[in-house]
Structure 1
Amino acid sequence: MLKYIPVFLFLVPLLAFTFKDLYPLYIPEYFPKPVYDFKKEPLTREKVELGRVLFYDPILSKDGTISCASCHTSYNAFAHTDHALSHGIGDSTGKRNAPALFNLAWQKDLMWDGAVNHIEVQALAPISDKKEMGESIENVVKKLQAKKLYRTLFYKAFSDSTITGQHLLKAIAQFQLTLISAGSKYDQVKKRKDSFTEQEQKGYEIFKRNCNSCHQEPLFSSYQFAGNGLPMDSYLKDQGRFGITKQPKDNQMFKIPSLRNLSYSYPYMHDGRFTRLSQVINHYTNGIQQNSKVSKEIRNKIILSDNEKVDLIAFLLTLNDREFVKNQDFQFPKEILLPSEGK
């Protein structure tokens, strides 16, 4: 019988920690080994709690209007649904759709173009981006240091009330690493606690024949980079990973997103151009550009009947994790961060 494996069983406890201090993070045994090294940097309750408060506080932005949660809302699987492209301070608009945040411990490269390769520095990118939070890490630290709430929380987390940028980024990362999505119907089937309907099973077989090369189980992504066959937006002119590597082979290559929680994390694709799953499936069956940037399977064109498309969607819906999006531990920390404290 499949069981959840508590991460702390694999940790070598440091003298500064007790089992009571460690955050009880659980990973299904059918998940692959995480990329993040929990032995080297174990999660603690105090750091996770601090990271959660920081994630929801707009103090991280220059004008105090944008938090991490502004673009990554818990009920959208930490993506957003009200617009295709992310918005920042001064109602500025970015050039990409905000990706969903979950199962980050299995991702070596972060962001659509892989611009960041370690979660403990990832938050620096949106904080310093002029179209997102538009702030410097130095100013954020000054603002946090001026608040008794944060001096207290940082002391609990790091035994030091002097706030540093390194500790700030580490705390946010620790909270984000707790965002594990593994409670969908698919997961219940893997644990032999449920079974697919006939239609879902048909969809599963279609998925395995046509989609699994890029969206590998059980994370439903290889988290590699691939061309999606979309024509470049003439306004955004987003060249994807090429902007980071400057290698011609990476032109219009984007990180492959997970297919988990699709009902919550629309719109889809790097620029949010599709609002419905049916549009995405139609793109890969009818509208895809035949070029060398897409996988061989896609270039050969996926042929699905209307009924098969419906069956495929039925399976994809089994990847929705309502438990995850409703988890109170991931939502706004109203017990800590009252509206008056965040200003």
Structure 2
Amino acid sequence: MKKSYRYITLLALLIWSCSRDKATTPAFEGFVQPAGFPLPVYHLAGNPVTREGFELGRKLFYEPRLSRNNTISCGSCHLQSSAFTHHGHDISHGIDDRLGSRNAPPIMNLAWNTTFMWDGGIFDLDLQPVAPISNFVEMDEKVSNVLEKLKATPPYPELFRKAFGSKDITTATMMKAMSQFMVMVVSDQAKYDSVRRGQTTFTPDESRGYALFQQHCNSCHREPLFTDHSFRNNGIGPGPNNDSGRFAITLKPGDMYAFRVPSLRNLAYTAPYMHDGRFYTLQGVLTHYTSEITDMPTLDPILKTGDKPGIALSATEQQQLLIFLNTLNDKKFITDKRFSQETP
């Protein structure tokens, strides 16, 4: 009788322990479309986000074995504290401290992108990591070598089994895992978002800045993502390396010196600005748009509406616009433990 009682007690403790673990382990929601955002364009049905796939993707994002000499990870040039940009570098530094030719764009709200990179040369998020892995100045590695390194490195085979049902590590499963991490990197918790949700209100200066934004900027930096995903020549002129931008992809003369319209979210964390990082402050950006635009054949027509190329803004209006842009900074995004290198 005593023996049976001990068994019953042990069984009860085991059940309690399991239920307690379940209760303390937060549920994993996967990808959730933010209220007010458009439908994502990433093929989520073909690669649904799971806890196991997301956690594997995060580990791969911070894995230096993706580079030739095992020193550079995606997270080396896309720092969470800088909204996943290479803060402080006008152009990014890669393997062996080699210099690239462009500023690292932020990894943010990529589920709504149809193309990637400053020139839109990649059209599928599942293919995007191949570019930095194989680029001579970034990671300088072959994907086939990366796969072999991962296969030989515990616990990767087991992590792939948990995520995709097989210990076999392939290009497809590696890319899908990384995409599961990247589509989850969503910024939608700025003050602007709280205002849209009716949780707070703008100050008078923020409201005036918002009105100026809608009047002068919203045609390219469309809400709520603050980009229309187009490619435009904004008149900054050719850089030292004469980067032709979108033209190198399409070979269309009208695309000469056209680059992706970047999102205006999290600008406080992502300096310097433009594809080559030539502007170190937002005031420098506004000065460009008000008085320093270079007129050229492919300059975006929106910037040619007046007698002089550019946007007419007084000093006061510029300051109000900057005040509004500060409402797009998402502190929760750059501190979200789900996206950090350390496991939450």
**TM-based fold match above 0.5:** yes
The answer on whether the counterparts of 1:85 and 1:271 sit within 8 Å (CA) in structure 2 is yes
Instruction: Report the 3-state secondary structure (helix = DSSP H, G, I; strand = E; otherwise coil) of the residue aligned with 1:166.
Output: helix
Select the residue among 244, 251, 259 that pairs with 1:239.
Answer: 244
Structure number with larger C-alpha Rg: 2
Q: 1:305-331: CA deviations, max 9, x gaps?
A: 111100000000000000101100000
Instruction: Give the Cα–Cα distance (whole angstroms) in 2 for the partners of residues 75 and 310 of structure 1.
Output: 25
Segment drifting more, 245-254 vs 203-212: 245-254
Call closer, same or farther: CA 1:162–1:90 in 2, change over 3 Å.
Answer: same
User: Which amino acid in the other structure matches residue 156 of structure 1?
Assistant: K
Structure 2 letter corresponding to 1:278: Q
1:25 aligns with 2:34: no
- Are the aligned partners of 2:79 and 2:87 in contact in 1 as well (CA < 8 Å)? no
Distance in 2 (alpha carbons) for counterparts of 1:294 and 1:309 = 22
Equivalent residue for 1:130, pick from 132, 136, 145: 136
Residue 330 (str. 1) matches residue 330 (str. 2): no
Q: Residue 52 of structure 1: SS of its match in structure 2?
A: helix
Relative to total residues, which structure has the larger helix share, 1 or 2? Answer: 2
What corresponds to 1:181 in structure 2? 187
Alignment of 1:1-40 (within 5 A): 23-40=29-46
Q: 1:276 aligns with which of 274, 281, 287?
A: 281
Structure 1 position 65 matched with structure 2 position 71: yes
The superposition leaves residues 133-176 of structure 1 with CA deviations (integer Å, 9 ceiling, x where unpaired) of 00000000000000121111111111111111111111111100
Aligned partners of 1:192 and 1:39: how far apart in 2? 31
- 2:271 maps to what in 1? 266
Native 8 Å contact 1:291 1:299 kept in 2: no
Q: How does 1:215-226 map to 2 (within 5 A)?
A: 215-226=221-232
Distance in 2 between residues matched to 1:223 and 1:23, nearest whole Å: 27
Q: Distance in 2 between matches of 1:140 and 1:224?
A: 33
Q: Residue 296 of structure 2 aligns to which amino acid in structure 1? A: N
Amino acid at match of 2:243: D
Shift of 1:294: 3.0
Q: 1:167 aligns with which of 173, 178, 191?
A: 173
Give the letter for the 1:70 counterpart: S
Q: Please, which of 114, 135, 142 is the counterpart of residue 148 of structure 2?
A: 142
Q: Show the counterpart of 1:7.
A: none
Note the aligned Cα RMSD (angstroms): 1.4
- Check conservation: 2:113, 2:229, Cα contact below 8 A: yes
Residue 274 of structure 2 aligns with an amino acid whose one-letter code is: M
Distance in 2 between the 1:316 and 1:274 partners? Answer: 16
Would the aligned equivalents of 1:239 and 1:253 in 2 still touch at CA under 8 Å? yes
Residue in structure 2 matched with residue 99 of structure 1 by the alignment: 105
SS of residue in 2 equivalent to 1:143: helix
Taking structure 1 as reference, are residues 320 and 21 closer, same or farther at Cα in structure 2, changes over 3 Å only?
A: closer
Give the CA deviation at 1:61: 0.2
Q: What residue identity is the alignment partner of 1:117?
A: F
Q: Do the aligned residues in 1 keep the contact of 2:41 with 2:112 (CA within 8 Å)? A: yes
Q: Which of 32, 47, 59 is matched with 2:53 structurally?
A: 47
**C-alpha separation in 1, matches of 2:342 and 2:156:** 14
Q: 2:295 is matched with which residue? A: 290
Q: CA deviation at 1:82?
A: 2.5
User: Does structure 1 conserve the Cα–Cα contact (< 8 Å) formed by 2:49 and 2:180?
Assistant: yes
Amino acid paired to 2:316: N
Q: How many pairs were matched up?
A: 315
SS of 1:121 mapped into structure 2: coil
Q: CA–CA distance in 2 between the matches of 1:35 and 1:334?
A: 28
Deviation at 1:290, TM superposition (A): 2.1
TM-score normalised by L of structure 2: 0.89
Q: State percent identity of aligned pairs.
A: 44
Structure 1 stretches of at least 4 aligned residues deviating more than 4 Å after TM superposition:
20-23
Uncovered stretches (5+) of structure 1, i.e. residues with no partner: 1-19, 336-343
Q: Distance in 1 between the 2:28 and 2:330 partners?
A: 25
Work out the CA distance in 1 between the residues paired with 2:54 and 2:188. 19
- Offset at 1:21? 9.2
The match for 1:310 is 319
Normalised by the length of structure 1, the TM-score is 0.89
SS of the residue corresponding to residue 166 of structure 2 reads coil
Q: Matched residue of 2:33: which SS?
A: strand
Please give the alpha-carbon distance, in whole angstroms, between the structure 2 residues aligned to 1:43 and 1:280: 37
More off after superposition, 268-277 vs 287-296: 287-296
Structure 2 contact 234–303 (Cα < 8 Å) conserved:
no
In the TM superposition, residue 35 of structure 1 has moved relative to its aligned partner by 1.0
Structure 2 unaligned regions, length at least 5: 1-25
